[in-house]
Structure 1
Amino acid sequence: MGLLTGLLLAAVFADMASRKIPNRLVFTGMIIGVLVQAFLPSGDGFMPAFKGFLFGFGLFFPLYLLRVMGAGDVKLMAMVGCFTGSPAIFGVMLCTLLAGGVLSLIFSIKIKAFRQMLDNVKFMIFMKSIKTIGGGLTSSHDMAASVGSLPYAVAIAIGTAGYLVWQSIRF
């Protein structure tokens, strides 16, 4: 998992510096992840790596469509799925979402925007669900004012590391 750690750290530094995760980094990582899974004795094979890619991409893609995260974050999670395989990607994603929530709380408190974040959460839960039930889609002018942006590669790296460490301790 040293390769995955190095790729995630590179993504974190790039995301923090420019709020972008380079495609070259992610696509290279995807290829390496599939090759590691397919050809190393400790790998699970090509299909679990491919399924990890599909689930990592597919489960985060709706968040991109809702403008909750960027495309680079979705591709980075797909890359992680190539390394972890299909069974583990679900745990990685849960840990990543948990890490993202905690980091968002810390970030909003640090910039003194916690109240605005709570208002945004209420807005998303109530207003969007009411509009969806009524048959309408939320338009961009219905969005609440953003508290700011978080380099989500940090949450992906923490969530991935946390899950992998937990798995190694558990077994």
Structure 2
Amino acid sequence: MITNDIINFLPGARLGLLAGFLLATVITDTAARKIPNKLVLGGLVVAFLCQGLISGGGGLLEAAKGMGLGFVLFLPLYLLRVMGAGDVKLMAMVGAFTGMQDIVGIVLFTLLAGGVLSLAFALKLKSLNRLIDNVRYLALSGISKVAAGKIPVNDFPINSIGTLPYAWAITLGTAGYFFWQSV
């Protein structure tokens, strides 16, 4: 039987476990520019176990909703070839840990962190003009395809300034969101 002490401990432990998985993804994404499926799957299993212990199993539905919404909110960025599939799966994992009530805020903070990191990356490489050109191209291309009734998938390679390990943005966005919630 689960005691009240364990139930009160679980939310903090759940976020601590999420932080551990995010740190592991930052390390692997930085080193190999890849987020291993095994790492994300392990995180999903742990997230569902944690959520299942909360509210007598009622957290399982919340984990599934958060996972689905995290996936759906990042999927268009994958379809536009702005980010990799590992980033989408990682956001789904974050959603499973946090549930639906927090994932929209986390996604917004992550996109903000990603923008700041991209800007810093472009400034470091002295490629700000190319970054602006790429954003303009992707936006105009997407708008014109939507106006024509097509799915806005980027068919042509752009002159990239490099790749950013987006696990950093997801981690910083998640941490920033929870810091913002605590103040």
TM-score, normalised on structure 2?
A: 0.85
Q: Give 1:46's match in structure 2, choosing from 50, 53, 60.
A: 60
Counterpart residue number, 2:113: 99
- Give 1:29-44 correspondences, 5 Å limit: 29-40=43-54
Deviation per CA, 1:18-38, whole angstroms, max 9, x where unpaired?
000111110010111111112
How many angstroms does 1:128 deviate by? 3.4
How many angstroms does 1:167 deviate by? 1.3
Change (3 A) 1:39 1:146: same
Segments of 5+ residues of structure 2 without an aligned counterpart are: 1-14
RMSD (CA atoms): 1.9
Deviation per CA, 1:130-161, whole angstroms, max 9, x where unpaired?
344245666633x4311211000000000001
Counterpart residue number, 1:140: 155
1:155 to 2:164 alignment: no
Deviation per CA, 1:103-142, whole angstroms, max 9, x where unpaired?
000000001110001111121222432344245666633x
d(CA) in 1 for partners of 2:22 and 2:154? 34
Aligned pair count? 168
1:61 to 2:61 alignment: no
> Which residue type is aligned with residue 84 of structure 2?
G
How many angstroms does 1:162 deviate by? 0.6
d(CA) in 1 for partners of 2:64 and 2:153? 34
d(CA) in 1 for partners of 2:101 and 2:90? 17
Counterpart residue number, 2:136: 122
Q: Is the 1:132–1:138 Cα contact (8 Å) retained in structure 2?
A: no
Segments of 5+ residues of structure 1 without an aligned counterpart are: none
Change (3 A) 1:97 1:42: farther
What fraction of aligned residue pairs are identical, expressed as a percent? 53
d(CA) in 2 for partners of 1:121 and 1:14? 27
Counterpart residue number, 2:9: none
Q: Is the 2:122–2:161 Cα contact (8 Å) retained in structure 1?
A: yes
